[in-house]
């Protein structure tokens, strides 16, 4: 019996040696394709809803973004803490030069719009005193606005909406975060597919030597495609805590890399998501932006009234009460229109004051295993059965191909 098996093996040496290699390649290719299917394409390609494909993460961008927000706000940092780190006096100091640059223009534009003759006839010295008074009181105005913003932050700003909006609008950025945070794990999935496939292929070779049944090749192809994906995904997250067997400790690959992942995640989120520019945009364009503008408008109008305390009766007599109100409203609108450009000047200070990269990384490193797993696990969990099924189907197809070649 053994002599017949050995003769069969030697007579068809290359055929049998090809089995582990083909099995290894099937494992590798199916795993790599599974990873690609998680991220690509960004938009649906084909005929919706069934004939086509969209990457799992881009397709579930809203949910993935919401999970990211949950990780950030529940375990890493809250919007209250973000704004508490900004010193109102420092913000006023940083913005003062930028405000000084626009004060003259706004005063001139408003006065020329409503009272061009009166303003043009005014002596330059008087105009300069008006400019100086407005500039002098600008820091206090900023301080008051910052104080109100901090006091009512939950009614003025929605961090969750900002993050979800940003990541849903830029699915490529969402992919980038998952790809870079889980880079080592995704490489492992590809490589492990080859090694596990190779082992299954050796078993296939031995079985085929003894039992040359046609159904074995498709069956092994199906098994390789299924098992290599399933085992690789399992090894990424399990076990959560180190399990020691003799001198060797076993732990899920992602869980083992918590310190490194924390650094990458802190860098990515602070560089692309929780940036000062995005936070400012969330204030000016978020769901509570109307409240923010109303609050700023009230402060600016009050400041205008304070600037004209002595001259107000004379001004309202000269231009009329309604015109005076229109002038204040116009000043408010012009200030608000300048906000996006003006607030860019605080980005460098805010980046330093918030220190988000260090905060996120440090706190992420101290998360419990269940909390840490929730960062990457959702990328696989929701539709991992699809990835495993696709791997099994591809493996089955290769097995059928092997069968046709052998019996051709």
Can you give the pTM of this predicted structure? Answer: 0.79
Pair type for strands 248-250 and 45-47: unpaired
- DSSP code of 346? G
Q: What is the largest CA-CA distance in the chain?
A: 118
Torsion sign across C-alpha atoms 21, 23, 27, 30: positive
Query: Closest by alpha carbon to 344, among 83, 162, 91?
Result: 91
Tokens of 10: 């030697």
Place of tokens 């805590």: 241
Assess contact for 11 and 190: CB atoms under 8 A.
Answer: no
DSSP assignment of 116-183 = HHHHHHS-HHHHHHHHHHHHHHHHHHHHHHHHHHHHTHHHH--HHHHHHHHHHH-HHHHHHHHHHHTH
pLDDT tens sequence across 264-290: 989 999 999 999 999 888 888 888 888
Quote the pLDDT of residue 283: 85
User: Hunting for tokens 């945009």 — which residue is that?
Assistant: 281
Nearest Cα residue to 172 out of 64, 302, 260: 64
Q: What is the pLDDT of residue 379?
A: 63
> Splitting the chain (408 residues) into consecutive groups of 10 residues, what average pLDDT does each group show?
76 82 83 85 86 87 83 86 90 83 75 69 72 76 84 87 89 90 86 84 81 78 80 82 81 88 91 90 86 80 63 49 68 79 87 92 88 74 73 80 70
CA distances for 285 relative to 23, 166, 272, 290, 292, angstroms: 54, 12, 18, 9, 10
Q: Is 101 in a helix, a strand, or coil?
A: helix
* Alpha carbon distance 387, 392 (integer Å): 9
DSSP 43: S
> What's the pLDDT score for residue 308?
56
């Amino acid at each position: 019996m053994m002599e017949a098996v050995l003769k069969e093996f030697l007579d068809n040496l290359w055929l049998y040696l090809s089995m582990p290699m083909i099995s290894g390649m099937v494992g590798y290719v199916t795993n790599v394709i599974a990873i690609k299917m998680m991220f690509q394409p960004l938009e649906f390609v084909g005929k919706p809803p069934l004939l086509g494909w969209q990457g799992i993460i881009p397709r579930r961008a809203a949910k993935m973004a919401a999970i990211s927000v949950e990780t950030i706000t529940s375990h890493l940092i809250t919007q209250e803490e973000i704004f508490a780190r900004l010193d109102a006096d420092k913000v006023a100091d940083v913005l003062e030069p930028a405000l000084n640059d626009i004060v003259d223009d706004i005063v001139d534009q408003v006065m020329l719009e409503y009272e061009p003759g009166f303003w043009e006839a005014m002596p330059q010295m008087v105009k300069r005193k008006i400019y100086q008074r407005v500039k002098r009181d600008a820091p206090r105005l900023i301080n008051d606005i910052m104080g109100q913003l901090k006091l009512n932050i939950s009614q003025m700003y929605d961090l969750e909406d900002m993050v979800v909006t940003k990541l849903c609008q830029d699915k490529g950025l969402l992919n980038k975060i998952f790809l870079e945070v889980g880079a080592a794990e995704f490489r492992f999935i590809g490589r492990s597919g080859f090694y596990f496939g190779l082992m299954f292929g050796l078993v296939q070779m031995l079985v085929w030597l003894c039992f040359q049944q046609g159904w074995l090749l498709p069956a092994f192809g199906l098994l390789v495609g299924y098992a290599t994906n399933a085992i690789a995904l399992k090894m990424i997250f399990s076990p959560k805590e180190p399990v020691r067997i003799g001198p060797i400790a076993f732990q899920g690959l992602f869980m083992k890399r918590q310190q490194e992942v924390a650094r990458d995640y802190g860098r990515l989120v602070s560089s692309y998501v929780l940036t000062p520019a995005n936070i400012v945009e969330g204030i000016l364009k978020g769901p509570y932006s109307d409240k923010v503008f109303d609050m700023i408008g009230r402060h600016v109008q009050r400041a205008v009234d304070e600037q004209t305390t002595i001259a107000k009766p004379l001004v309202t007599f000269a231009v009329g009460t309604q015109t005076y109100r229109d002038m204040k409203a116009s000043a408010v609108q012009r200030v608000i229109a300048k906000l996006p450009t003006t607030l860019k000047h605080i980005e460098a200070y805010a980046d330093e004051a918030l220190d988000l990269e260090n905060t996120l990384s440090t706190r992420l490193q101290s998360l419990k295993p269940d909390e840490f797993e929730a960062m990457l696990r959702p990328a696989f969990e929701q539709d991992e059965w699809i990835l495993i099924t696709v791997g099994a189907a591809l493996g089955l197809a290769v097995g059928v191909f092997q069968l046709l070649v052998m019996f051709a």
